[in-house]
A and B are shown apart, each in its own frame.
Chain A
Amino acid sequence: MSLWEYANPVKFLALSAKVQPFAWAVAAIGIGVGLIWGFFFTPDDFRQGASIKIIYIHVPSAWIAVNAWMMMLVASLIWLVRRHHVSALAARAAAPVGLVMTVIGLLTGAIWGQPIWGTWWAWDPRLTSFLILFLFYLGYIALWEAIEDPDTAADLTAILCLVGSVFALMSRYAVLFWSQGLHQGATLSLDKEENISDVFWQPLVLSIVGFTLLFIALVLYRTGTEIALRRTKALAVRLERDV
């Protein structure tokens, strides 16, 4: 069995129907337990006090904001190379989810920055590239809405997605390129010295797993919606032509 079989909408929808209940359930458990554990049952950080509790939302949302764009990049490349409509629709379906996660990342970052850095915003490399990623999300969604022909829209948005990937990657790795920013380095690391303490790490990983599964569940559901809308439009045109 080939992966490309799922380019067929019927097969994709059948697989999606099987995966979704699991994804929704793990998302609810991961986010629910992760946030409750992090909020109620973790100690304050010795430097950042209770503001550390923002990490359980800020890091998972920022993680999804960047990886949603990466998923859109892969789907866009599949569209450009193999012309599978489901992949273009999946990229379109993921964009609003990525946008909301980017907004949450920006808002929680600003709210966290005020008491810790003494400012809501700084033109730090990571923050700035994240803001540009937000603008790319807006542009991507607007471009889909602005172009009537779905194949042309898929082509142009795929190219926009390729360009935006630079900023998605930059928002993740900016702290490595430039060291003058306010934003700290990676929160999670395989290096025991750099990784955050276990007491914060465990609920954070649970929350990240929950957010990831929420993203998967939302994208599967929304791709199903896009397929339904596309088929409705095609049938409407056929009905009109035959009347």
Chain B
Amino acid sequence: MKLLRELLFPLIAVAAAFLVGGVLVALVGDSPLRTYELLIGSALTWPDGIGYTLFYATPLIFTGLAVAVAFRCGLLNIGAEGQLYIAAFVTAWVGITCAGWSAWLLVPLCFLAATLSGALWGAIPGVLKARFGAHEVITTIMLNFVAVALASYFTQYHYKPPGDPILETVPIGEGAHIARLGRFIPGFPERIPLNLAFPLALVVSLLVYLFLWRTRWGYEIRATGASPAAAEYGGISTGRQIVLAMAVSGGLAGMVGINEVMGYRYRYYDSFSAGYGFTGIAVALLGRNHPVGVILSSLLFGALLRGGLFVDIFTENVSKDLVQVLQAIIILFVAAEALFRGPLRGPFARWAKRV
């Protein structure tokens, strides 16, 4: 019964979003039914629909987990976008700099680079909040802009192939490539970029679950988010938990670099992200900040991203921005429903005012 109740609210949010979205579609002059048919239908074909859906779902799982972990500590990480950009660039940089190395060394090294650079970029707003009380929503957004600018600068001035009009880096070494799933699944073409990062994302989800509910650090992070005053009473250093949570969060977001750079483009490509960081917020909220929920809602949003492209091309007036609108409405509805769960952030807001 409890499981049904848990599923009910997200379903209501999604249904409401589709309803409002339908109205908007009608407003711009297209048929809502046909649009939604395109949207969902194109995501379910084999092999392309499902393949691309899972491919888009991969970065969303990472950013969804990232936002979920931060939420568990009472923090709203809007900086997943910047964290994944920095991580993607650093991953490419390692792949380029160590281009000749063997895969046994290079692949784990790049994994590490992605995770650690993302963690660092996430730790910065964490420290700013813990030490100075700077609101993480603003600092993370500012750092998003800075991250994109930095990556763009380094690409343009140092790593771009000369004469290349596109803002992208030179390719990474072969040793840093990770296999596409087409190699292992019969009947599944390798042109579809779905790669080993997807099963990695599933494994990481399990690890996040274990981290949050079975380790001491996860317990302390959750306690800090649920009741900072009680956490402090229990001897937990709330400042340290904030930094830890933001670092873990950033590291998770950074893993998007693995999917993008090592499994798809094999280089850093400017502005590659289709708003994965922001969508991650919707994914986390819809998934109730739980790894299982995150996986399920990433599949939904992955399907929407895939379907959105089709809708963009094959309808008169509707563009793929419809997906963004649907996202926002889902977030709104989930936020309003969150009051049934008891506010996660209320106690934190009060504590934060102490500074």
Binding partners A and B: no
